[in-house]
Amino acid sequence: MKKILIIEDEKDIIDIATLILEDEGYEVSSISEYPGFEEKINDSKADLVLLDLNLQGYHGKDICKYIKGNDDLKQTSVVLMSANRDIKAVQEESGADAYIAKPFDLADFITTVRTNLNLAS
């Protein structure tokens, strides 16, 4: 079973995304508190990380760079999530594999997740 880690500070988004992804057959975990996020990411063994761009006290771009710069994690697909209209530029700068604009369309959300999980395989 493919594992997805959601890094998000809005509980409602975590709950909705988890419901959708579990219904699709994925194992889902989440991080909503960021001190010590490195250990939590390492321990998750996720195939895909859904990463909010604007986290309280942290920037998703920096977390993405951490993942992509870590030899043990760099094969993990990272999909940024944000309402930021410059998200495409941030995706390219951070090395993320894709992005989902908030509010997201359900079909686009599922397609983006599936596509990026296939890339991680």
Prior bond of 35 cis (ω within 30°): no
Domains plus CATH for the chain? 3-120 (3.40.50.2300)
Residues of the chain with pLDDT under 70: 120-121
Q: Tokens representing 67?
A: 């993942």
**Cβ distance 78 to 96 under 8 Å?**
yes
- What does the pLDDT read at residue 120? 63
Give the helix ranges, DSSP H, for the chain.
Answer: 11-23, 37-44, 60-69, 87-94, 106-120
pTM for the whole structure: 0.93
Per-residue pLDDT of 32-67, as tens digits, reads 887 778 898 999 999 999 999 988 888 899 999 999
Which residue, among 98, 53, 46, has the nearest Cα to 76 in the 3D structure?
46
Determine how β-strand 58-59 pairs with β-strand 54-55: antiparallel
